[in-house]
């Protein structure tokens, strides 16, 4: 059975040549097999939206995706309340204060404990001075004091300029390993890239209402570079499936790529593990609400769309 990868201005979908698709014809739609689609056609496209926030997405992935949770534990420490505290914060404070068990609960924010504003001041001042000196030597724009305050308060996972980890190693040698991971490769960098990629990718996927992001399975966060987030997307869709809001819109077909025979079986086998690859262009047999759908035989034969579709139908029959 012929299989196509049909790319529209709203996303791409794998469509079988025998799948029912819906081509716009004036104010109505014509149901035709995927075999008869051409670039330039306006087809009915189903867009799914899940209005969930990042915290809700994070909670799902943390509870159901081992690789996501493992990555987080490279970037954060888990306190006794089950809250993740960035290692950027914990390493800075421990580096300045030394091995001081009396303030561990404050560092980890166990219970309701935390430092007072007056206690934060010297921690931030010293950190800001060390990193600013480093930035001057390296010809970098140094971080603002309030930026460093966010590091120390635990509002940031990693500085935007990862070379600052080298400067922070002067405060705590633990940062040496982290710094080297960004230049040589290693666990912190791998975990950080995966963590950011998954969070940004899923939220972009949900916000754009498309099925473009995530086209396969990623099994190890250490191999995430150039990989995909298909499994993470599917977990979120499974969890919030009842909260999906769908709408039907018109999408313009940009290109149609026929899947090579040798690859068809492999693509079709992914329908179960990566069903989002087959979503987008509507291929259901039920007429979408508020849409008038006609067969080729019922449409106005004088219309441009009808003539074009009939021409394709005849040519397909001749050359089968």
Distance in angstroms (rounded) separating the CA atoms of residues 13 and 212: 9
pLDDT above 70 (res 122)? yes
CATH top class, domain 3-49+246-319: mainly beta
Beta strand 76-78 pairing with 245-258: unpaired
Each residue's pLDDT tens digit, 291-309: 888 776 666 656 666 666 6
Give the C-alpha distances (Å, rounded to integers) separating 5 from 113, 126, 184, 230, 281: 55, 56, 38, 17, 11
Confidence of residue 211 (pLDDT cuts 50, 70, 90): very low
Please give the pLDDT value at position 290.
78
Please give the pLDDT value at position 183.
86
Cβ atoms < 10 Å from Cβ of 114: 16
Length of the chain: 320
Please give the pLDDT value at position 226.
39
Distance in angstroms (rounded) separating the CA atoms of residues 226 and 149: 33
- Return the percentage of the chain with pLDDT > 70, whole number: 81
Please give the pLDDT value at position 189.
96
Please give the pLDDT value at position 240.
80
pLDDT above 60 (res 206)? yes
| Ranges of H-type helices in the chain | 54-64, 66-75, 87-97, 104-108, 117-138, 145-153, 164-168, 174-184, 187-208, 230-239, 261-268, 304-319
Please give the pLDDT value at position 184.
87
pLDDT above 80 (res 201)? yes
pLDDT above 90 (res 209)? no
End-to-end CA distance of the chain: 13
Name the range with the highest mean pLDDT among 116-125, 230-239, 299-308.
116-125
Name the range with the highest mean pLDDT among 99-103, 167-171, 274-278, 299-303.
167-171
**Are the C-beta atoms of residues 17 and 3 closer than 8 Å to each other?**
yes
Please give the pLDDT value at position 320.
40
pLDDT above 50 (res 138)? yes
Integer Rg of the chain from CA? 27
Please give the pLDDT value at position 52.
80
Each residue's pLDDT tens digit, 144-194: 999 999 999 999 999 999 999 999 999 999 999 999 999 888 899 999 999
- Structure tokens of 185? 């490769």
Q: Residue 256's beta-bridge partner residues?
A: 6
Please give the pLDDT value at position 32.
87
- Structure tokens of 315? 């040519």
Distance in angstroms (rounded) separating the CA atoms of residues 231 and 253: 27
Beta strand 28-33 pairing with 293-294: parallel
Please give the pLDDT value at position 253.
95
**Are the C-beta atoms of residues 28 and 5 closer than 8 Å to each other?**
no
Q: Which of 48-57, 256-265, 311-320 has the lowest mean pLDDT?
A: 311-320
pLDDT above 80 (res 273)? no
Name all contacts of 173-176 with Cβ < 8 Å and 24+ positions apart.
Answer: 173/95, 174/87, 174/91, 174/95, 175/91, 175/95
Element (H, E) at 294: strand 293-294
Confidence of residue 205 (pLDDT cuts 50, 70, 90): confident
Q: Which residues of 36-71 are buried (b: 16+ CB within 10 A; e: fewer)?
A: bbeeebbbbbbbbebebeeeebbebbeeebebbeeb
CATH 2.170.16 residue ranges in the chain?
3-49+246-319
Each residue's pLDDT tens digit, 59-98: 999 999 999 999 999 999 999 999 999 999 999 999 999 9
**Closest residue by Cα to residue 217 from 200, 196, 232:** 232
Mean pLDDT for 281-297 is 80
Distance in angstroms (rounded) separating the CA atoms of residues 320 and 108: 70
């Amino acid at each position: 059975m012929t299989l196509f990868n049909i790319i529209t201005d709203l996303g791409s979908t794998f469509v079988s040549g025998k799948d029912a698709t819906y081509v716009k014809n004036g104010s109505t739609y014509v149901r035709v097999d995927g075999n008869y689609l051409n670039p330039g056609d306006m087809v009915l496209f189903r867009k799914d939206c899940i209005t969930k926030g990042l915290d809700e997405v994070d909670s799902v992935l943390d509870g159901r995706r081992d690789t996501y949770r493992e990555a987080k534990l490279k970037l954060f420490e888990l306190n006794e309340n089950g809250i993740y505290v960035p290692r950027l914060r914990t390493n800075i404070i421990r580096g300045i204060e030394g091995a001081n068990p009396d303030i561990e609960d404050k560092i980890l924010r166990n219970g309701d404990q935390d430092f007072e504003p007056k206690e934060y001041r010297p921690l931030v001042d010293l950190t800001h001075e060390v990193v600013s000196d480093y930035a001057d030597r390296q010809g970098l724009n140094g971080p603002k004091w309030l930026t460093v305050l966010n590091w120390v308060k635990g509002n940031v996972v990693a500085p935007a300029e990862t070379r600052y980890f080298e400067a922070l190693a002067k405060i705590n040698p633990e940062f040496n390993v982290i710094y080297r991971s960004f230049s040589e490769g290693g666990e912190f960098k791998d975990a950080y890239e995966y963590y950011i990629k998954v969070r940004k990718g899923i939220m972009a996927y949900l916000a754009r209402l498309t099925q473009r992001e995530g086209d396969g399975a990623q099994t190890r966060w250490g191999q995430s570079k150039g990989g995909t987030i298909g499994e993470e997307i599917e977990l979120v869709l499974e969890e919030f499936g009842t909260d999906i809001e769908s709408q039907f819109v018109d999408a313009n077909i940009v290109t149609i790529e026929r899947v090579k025979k040798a690859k068809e079986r492999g693509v079709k086998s992914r329908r179960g593990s990566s069903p989002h690859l087959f979503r987008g262009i509507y291929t259901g047999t039920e007429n979408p609400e508020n849409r008038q759908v006609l067969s080729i035989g019922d449409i106005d034969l004088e219309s441009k769309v009808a003539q074009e579709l009939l021409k394709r139908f005849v040519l397909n029959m001749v050359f089968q």
